[in-house]
Amino acid sequence: MVVGCGALGSVIAESLARAGIGRLRLIDRDFVELSNLQRQVLYDETDVAERLPKAVAAARKLERINSDVVIEPHVADLSAGNILELLRGADVILDGTDNFETRFLVNDAAVELGIPWVHAGCVGSHGQIMTILPGQTPCLRCLMPSPPPPGGSETCDTAGVIGPAVNIVASLQVVDALKILTGQRELIQPVLSIVDVWTGSLRQMQLGGLNPSQCPCCGGTERLWLHGQQGSQSVILCGRNSVQIAPAGAVQFDFTSLANRLASLGAVKANPFLLTFRPSDSNCEMTLFRDGRAIIGGTEDLSEARSLYARYIGV
């Protein structure tokens, strides 16, 4: 299971497909843009032109790389309402996400389901990797009781990220995933590995001193993100000048009727996976997914994004 098909996720997915893993489940909420091509290795300009969801574009490439691997693409935004269904049955979860809210949600679900997961993050020239075996090693909340505050850590927006850092971090994730998949969990150490490809350094922080029994998550039953007590419905997307809006309830868009309704209000373009709408009276662009989500491009103002969504979509 690869959560997020961006920079890390695309390298992870390709490596696992070439390794001949039997089944690969991909989850991503986003679509391919030109700015992705610098570091997201599974995509090309054709995917940009077709505005394909990343999970779909990645699956098509991976099927051509190794047709023996069963690829399951899911165009979805992980949430408290769908994560258990999407993750259930996985042997290992690999972190290709770009925000801490999703990571803490995955941590809750992985602990709840008892599924190993390989956390990682990458920004600038450095990255970190931590493999979590529920019931055996400390979880993410043992290390970080809560996500960093907004503005409290670097992001790909403020610091960028270089391809070699992505490749090394993703490769280390895949190594630990292969250990798990081949029944060699005893080789997994409770460490946080920190790599900086610019300086050539690799440090390992030993986590054996952390006591999981004192963690409210893996040592107890507290699942704040899984139970919807933490996390937001709107989020600024890293490095994109965009905001994602996710409706609180279940929504299923009818693109045909929606396109007809919006046609007189601006430019509309649709494919089987998403609908793009550029209002004639706004510099923003709305990309709508069938599950009710929208990515509002051209703004990082949450209130403006919510206003546009309510005005044109009416949900």
Provide the 3-class DSSP secondary structure of residue 172.
Answer: helix
What token pair was written down for 288? Answer: 């709508």
Burial bucket for residue 98 (CB in 10 Å: 0-12, 13-18, 19+)? buried
Paired residues of 192 in beta bridges: 130, 205
- By the 8 A CB rule, do 180 and 122 touch? no
In which order are the strands placed within the sheet that holds 285-289? 234-237, 242-245, 294-297, 285-289, 274-279, 266-270
H/E stretch holding 46: helix 45-50
Nearest to 214 by CA among 145, 132, 133: 145
Paired residues of 26 in beta bridges: 2, 73
Helices 7-19 and 54-65: crossing angle in degrees, nearest 10, is 30
Residue 121: CB atoms within 10 A of its CB come to 23
Q: Which residues are catalytic?
A: 156
- By the 8 A CB rule, do 43 and 10 touch? yes
**Tokens 């868009």 map to which residue?**
253
